[in-house]
Structure 1
Amino acid sequence: MKNISVTAFIHILFSVAIAILLATFLLFLSWDKDRQKIEEFKRYQLISITFLSNLRLNPTEEELKQLYKKLHVVPVSKEEIELIKNEIRNNGKTIFSGGSSAGRVRVFNINDTHYIYVQRMSYNLMLRDNKPKDYKFEIAMATGVFLILLLLLLYLAVLKKLYPLKKLHREIQRFAQGDMNIRIHYEYDDEIGKIAKSFDDAIRHINELSNSKNLFMRNMMHELKTPITKGRIVAEMLEDEGTKKILVRAFERMNELISELAEIERVTTQRFEPNMEYVTLEEVLEKSQDMLMAEKSCVKMEIRNRAITTDINFMALAIKNLLDNGIKYGEDKCVLLRSNEHFIEVVSRGEVLHHPLGYYTEPFSQEEKRSSGFGLGLYIVNSILMKLGYKLGYRYEEGMNIFMIEPDMKRRFG
């Protein structure tokens, strides 16, 4: 029940309520039908006993009229008796029969009209049952239908009240998928309206922060490019090779930082859509090596070429960052790149990571003793792989740090 949606819970709740109401109503109808039969039997039994006992006393016409009035019956005229007898013979149904040594009483049903035939020696009376109609059944039917309709109306009213929640959910999903310009409007000031307004305010605030961040990043990268370029040119003119080498490396690291920040801004945005194409693994790895600012002899390869569907530029960038990390932080400054049908692995010799992998996939995270790098490499790798439908894994075996790129089946099929 914890994972069931509110709408499904309401469907179940009202379905059970309507089912219980219908069952109760049907049980009442069955009980009322039995009650009517019992009351009918008791009534005709009373009529039988009353008439037979009174007819023994040879009542006057006035006494018979009083008896008719008391028992709610009326005598049938002589003209109608023969017609009624014919109807009884052809279509009549006996619903009561009783009597004693004093006489006999039978009740016939003809087209929902009850006729009482009393026989006693010199008396042969044909009476029509004139009991006032009992509207209990009709009242019960009307009440039952009213309650069911009322429950259905309440059910529809609750669903209508909850409908804005579905709309709000769809709009939140659109926002989560990258539609930053969405606006949420709800005209009523109830709980749903307050939630919608709060979320709309949050969207506005997030957009303002995002625009400020993007403006800051672009201005910063733009402003840094010019002095870095000028500094690099001046450094190349120095005659002191030691100082020149230090300055050139410093400017190169500044350029790397700007490039990594630009990559982060592009990859982590919700609007980023990879350009998926059918390529071979060899093409991706060749592009990765071209992007790598290191000697190719530092990278050993044991690959099994195969076709994959990916964005070649960003997959190559992810593998390049893994290779770069292995070269920078490996004990022998070399890495092994290997693959099989399912994995791509980057292997380098070194100490085991001191923290879980999730620690290093956060921005600006690195081992405390490292002074080089900005802690963005694995964050960029993980962000790219998530966009491409892969996941980053890690294990340590026999003094080797092994980073794995493997398909994320949950994202692809779940």
Structure 2
Amino acid sequence: MKNISVTAFIHILFSVAIAILLATFLLFLSWDKDRQKIEEFKRYQLISITFLSNLRLNPSQEELEKLYEKLHVKPVSKAEVKLIKDEIKKGGKTIFTGGSSAGRVQVFSINDTHYIYVQRMSYNLMLRDDRPADYKFEIAMTTGVFLILLLLLLYLAVLKKLYPLKKLHKEIQRFAQGDMNTCITYEHDDEIGKIAKSFDDAIRHINELSASKNLFMRNMMHELKTPITKGRIVAEMLDDESTKKILVRAFERMNELISELAEIERVTTQSFEPNMEYVTLEEVLQKSQEMLMAEKSCVKIEIENKALTTDIKFMALAIKNLLDNGIKYGKDKCVTLRTNDSFIEVVSEGDALEHPLNYYTEPFSQAEKRSSGFGLGLYIVHSILQKHGYKLGYRYEEGKNIFMIEPDMRRRFG
């Protein structure tokens, strides 16, 4: 029950309520039918006993009239008796038979009209049952229909009241999927309207913060580029080769950091969508090697060429960062790139990671001894793979660190 949506719960609740009401109504009809049969039997039994006992006393016409009125019956004229008897013979249904040594009483039903035939020596009376109409069934039907309609109206009213919640959910989903221009509308000042207003205020605030962050990042990277370029030019003019080498390397690392920050800003935005195209794995790896600032002899390729649909630029960047890590931190400063059932593995010799993999996929979180990097490489890899429906895995075997790019089954099937 915890995972059932509010709408589904309301469907179930009203369905059960209507089912219970219908079951109660049908039980009442069954009970009412049995009650009518019992009351009818008792009534005709009373008429039988009353008439047979009174006819023995040879009552006057006035006494008979009083008896008719008391028992709610009317005598049938002699002209109608013959016609009624013919109808009884054709399709009349006997619903009661009673009597004693004093005589006999039979009740026939013709077209929902009941006729009482009393036989007593010299008396042969044909009476029409004239009891007042019983409206209990009609009242029950009206009440039942009214209650069902009332429940249906309440059901529709509740669904209508919840409709803005569905609309709100769709608008929030649009925002979560990267539509930063989503505007949540709200018409009423009820609880749902207040929630919608709060979400709209939150979206506006998030957009303001995001715009402020983007402006800050772009200005910062732009402002840093100029002094770094000037510093690089000045460093090249130095005569001391040792100092020049240190400064040039420092400025190169600053440029790398700015470039990595730019890629992080783009990849991690909600609105980022990879430019998917049909390429081969060889094309991706070729682009990765072009981006890699290292000797090709340091990278050993053992791949089976495959076709895949991906953003070649960003997938190449992810593989380049894995290769770069393997070269930087490997004992022999070389790395092997191979394919298997998973997808791609990047293998390098070295000590096992001191922390779980998720520690290294956080920005700026690197082992203390790894002072040659900024701790952004695996974070960028992780972010790119997430956008492409892959995940980054790791295992350590026989003195080798193995980073794996493999399909994220939870994302594909979850």
TM-score of the pair, normalised by structure 2: 0.97
* Bigger shift: residues 30-39 or 272-281: 272-281
Deviates more, 1:99-108 or 1:323-332: 323-332
Residue identity matched to 2:176: A
1:33 equivalent in alignment to 2:33:
yes
Look up the match of 1:242: 242
User: Residue 88 of structure 2 aligns with which residue?
Assistant: 88
CA contact (8 A) 1:81 1:126 kept: yes
- Residues 306, 341 of structure 1: 8 Å contact kept: no
Asked if 2 retains the 8 angstrom alpha-carbon contact of 1:336 and 1:347, the reply is yes
- How far, CA to CA, are the matches of 2:360 and 2:189 in structure 1? 45
Runs of at least 4 residues of structure 1 off by over 4 A? none
Q: What residue number does 1:374 align with?
A: 374
Matches within 5 A, 1:310-389: 310-389=310-389
Give the counterpart letter for 2:208 in structure 1. Answer: E
Q: Secondary structure at the match of 1:391?
A: strand
Cα distance in 2 for partners of 1:280, 1:342 equals 16
Letter in 1 for 2:19: A
- Percent identity between the aligned chains? 87
Determine the C-alpha separation between the residues in 2 that align with 1:77 and 1:287.
113
- Report which stretch shifted further, 169-178 or 184-193: 184-193
CA distance in 1, matches of 2:236, 2:10: 74
Taking the aligned partners of 2:360 and 2:31, their CA distance within structure 1 comes to 74
Alignment partners' CA distance in 2, 1:204 and 1:88: 86
Residue 341 of structure 1: how far off its partner (Å): 4.4
- Secondary structure in 2 aligned to 1:96? strand
SS in 2 for 1:269: coil
Quick one: distance in 1 between partners of 2:207 and 2:38? 77
CA distance in 2, matches of 1:279, 1:78: 105
What CA distance in whole angstroms lies between the structure 1 residues aligned with 2:165 and 2:357?
38
Letter in 2 for 1:139: I
The Cα of 1:79 is off from its aligned counterpart by 2.4
CA contact (8 A) 2:342 2:404 kept: no
Q: Which amino acid aligns with 2:264?
A: I
1:39-79 deviations in Å (ceiling 9; x for gaps): 10110000000000011111112211111111111111222
Q: Which residue of 1 aligns with 2:109?
A: 109
Q: Report if aligned partners of 1:88, 1:110 keep a CA contact under 8 Å in 2.
A: yes
The answer to which of 152-161 and 303-312 deviates more is: 303-312
Give me the whole-angstrom Cα distance separating, in 1, the residues matched to 2:385 and 2:26: 62
Tell me how far apart the structure 2 counterparts of residues 287 and 81 of structure 1 sit (CA, whole Å). Answer: 111
> Residue 5 of structure 1 corresponds to which residue in structure 2?
5
Distance in 1, matches of 2:24 and 2:271, equals 57
Q: CA deviation at 1:413?
A: 4.1
Which residue identity does 1:286 align to in structure 2?
A: Q
Superposition pairs for residues 215-364 of structure 1, below 5 Å?
215-364=215-364
Q: Distance in 1 between matches of 2:342 and 2:375?
A: 28
Number of residue-to-residue matches in the alignment: 414
Tell me which amino acid in the other structure corresponds to 1:373.
G
- Unmatched segments (≥5 aa) in structure 2: none
CA deviation after TM superposition for structure 1 residue 380, in Å: 0.4
Q: Find the counterpart in structure 1 of residue 180 from structure 2.
A: 180
Q: Determine helix, strand or coil for the equivalent of 2:108.
A: strand
SS in 1 for 2:263: helix
Give 3-state SS (helix, strand or coil) of 1:378's partner: helix
Which digits, 9 at most, give the CA deviation of each residue in 1:124-152, with x for residues without a partner? 11111110001001001111111111111
User: What 5-or-longer segments of structure 1 have no aligned partner?
Assistant: none
Deviates most, 75-84 or 35-44: 75-84
Once residues 206 and 353 of structure 2 are traced to their aligned partners in structure 1, the CA distance between those partners, rounded to angstroms, is 35
Distance in 2 (alpha carbons) for counterparts of 1:87 and 1:371: 113
Rounded to whole Å, the distance in 2 between the matches of 1:306 and 1:290 is 20
Q: Write the deviation string for residues 214-263 of structure 1: whole angstroms up to 9, x where unpaired.
A: 00000001111111111111111111001100110110011001000100
Worse overlay, 306-315 or 376-385: 306-315
Distance 1:149 1:368 in 2: 72
Could you tell me how far 1:306 is from its partner in structure 2? 2.0
Which residue number corresponds to residue 204 of structure 2?
204
State the one-letter code of the partner of 1:197: K
Q: How does 1:112-191 map to 2 (within 5 A)?
A: 112-191=112-191
CA contact (8 A) 1:304 1:341 kept: no
Q: Is the contact made by 2:289 and 2:296 (CA closer than 8 Å) also made in structure 1?
A: yes
